[in-house]
Structure 1
Amino acid sequence: MPDHTPRAMVQEPYGFLSYGRNPESPESYEPPDELLVRFRGRLSRHLRELTDLRAGIDAVYLDKEIPVGSAWKDVLKDRLARCQVLVPALSPRLFSSKWCALEWECFERRQQLQRDRGTFIRDAIVPVLWAPLRPDEIPPPYSEVQYTHRDFHADYQRLGLLGLYGLGRHTTANGIAFQLAQTIARVAVMARLEPCDPGLFDDLFDSMNGSAGEEHDA
């Protein structure tokens, strides 16, 4: 019988938020992806409240926080090697992003390593329905993971979080954020995904032909 008891030392951060970046818009003074950044903040706060995560540690990692001048590829590889749950924000930009595909492939490689060891329990992936999407608009491999739940508000499946925020349905959207935090915390304990050597991803990153300092998007 699988051991679902909490580990004495958890991996950090809890979640790695994978998303397709929006371009700068000359029509708006609001930074691109501002709504997603706010959602990440709320999700992180709930995870801190629901878990015993130490102060000063990322609850949900977002690549906008990579320090200027840092070796950003090494930072990304490190987070992908240590995070407990991959959290892809489903949207057309995510599906067309080569970097998001890379993040998924890195995480799947890490899960496969645990499958090969015979200790794999379940996928440690919790998708977020960000944009309003029909099931036939979600391509593999994202379509192969459950992204809606019976306990979530029906309008979440119809509108996505972006639609809920856009229509001023903040109370509903915030409730979904709390339920997603609960799901991430539960999946982290159930999956018990082990960290790996970041070098496991070296060939995948090398194939991207990106240079240091370059924005990692599609």
Structure 2
Amino acid sequence: MRERSDDRPRRSVQQPYGFLSYGRVPHVPGSDGPTDERLIRFYNKLTVDLMALTDLDGKIRAVYLDRRTELGAGWRDELKDHLARCQVLVPVLSPRLFGSKWCAVEWQCFERRQQLQRDRGRFTRNAIVPVLWNPLRREEIPPPYADVQYTHQDFADDYETEGLLGLLTYGDEQVVNRVVYQLARKIVEVAVSARLEPCDPGLFDDLFDSLNGLAEEEH
């Protein structure tokens, strides 16, 4: 029997594979359908591709996407638990993300976890794969998001000029599929090479405590 290579995707105790961090679009009175309809479409495509590229169990959520409408202790614990175990943080770059205090804390939690691995001498690479959602110029992307590579030569040119939101709105379906597939491949590549270790969710308690009283709509 052929021995399994150590650098191949493998089922891991760290679930889900990715954590989608995004700024919510507020509901507009009188509008039809969910405000994040195109984000959900992207999420569904990404999930299918990640399941095809890995050997994750079908009962395991490949990507975590928070869609809750109510706050509570259990909800926060769930967020902390996924941030402590996911293998890759996937921030969806947009003005909504940049202005969200919730998203900032999600980034801080993940970076604290990565720093823990640096301190242990086991850090290999940054386990963050941004998604260019809006067509943004580099100077429009604030730190720390600007410090992580968000464009790749394998992606379609329209991805950088229009953003994934533009492609999902009026782009060619084949182009959309290609971009999402390449994002899934990048997430798998980063997860396999980074091998970020899980941590105690309690590591994030003080960061979440700083959000007490913050309206859910800002998440």
Tell me whether 1:122 sits opposite 2:154 in the alignment: no
Check whether the contact 2:86–2:198 (CA below 8 A) recurs between aligned residues: yes
Match of 2:218 in 1: 217
Q: Deviations over 1:98-139 (max 9, x none)?
A: 000000000000000000000000000000001110111000
Match of 1:157 in 2: 160
| Residues 185 and 67 of structure 1, relative CA distance in 2, 3 Å threshold | farther
Structure 1 residue ranges without an equivalent (≥5): none
Q: Letter of the aligned partner of 2:37 in structure 1?
A: E
Instruction: Kindly tell me the number of residue pairs found equivalent between the two proteins.
Output: 214
In 2, Cα distance between the equivalents of 1:8 and 1:34? Answer: 30
Match of 1:106 in 2: 109
Q: Letter of the aligned partner of 1:215 in structure 2?
A: E
Q: Deviations over 1:177-200 (max 9, x none)?
A: 000001101110000000000000
1:169 to 167, 172, 189: 172
Q: Letter of the aligned partner of 1:126 in structure 2?
A: V
Tell me whether 1:78 sits opposite 2:108 in the alignment: no
In 2, Cα distance between the equivalents of 1:165 and 1:27? Answer: 23
2:39 to 36, 39, 43: 36
- Following TM superposition, the consecutive aligned residue runs of length 4 or more in structure 1 with deviations greater than 6 angstroms are 66-70
TM-score by length of 1: 0.92
2:137 to 129, 134, 139: 134
In 2, Cα distance between the equivalents of 1:210 and 1:71? Answer: 16
| Residues 60 and 8 of structure 1, relative CA distance in 2, 3 Å threshold | closer
| Residues 173 and 41 of structure 1, relative CA distance in 2, 3 Å threshold | same
Check whether the contact 2:81–2:201 (CA below 8 A) recurs between aligned residues: yes
2:209 to 181, 206, 209: 206
Q: CA RMSD in A?
A: 1.9
Structure 2 residue ranges without an equivalent (≥5): 1-5
In 2, Cα distance between the equivalents of 1:108 and 1:140? Answer: 13
Match of 1:26 in 2: 29
Match of 2:54 in 1: 51
Query: Identical aligned pairs, as a percentage?
Result: 64
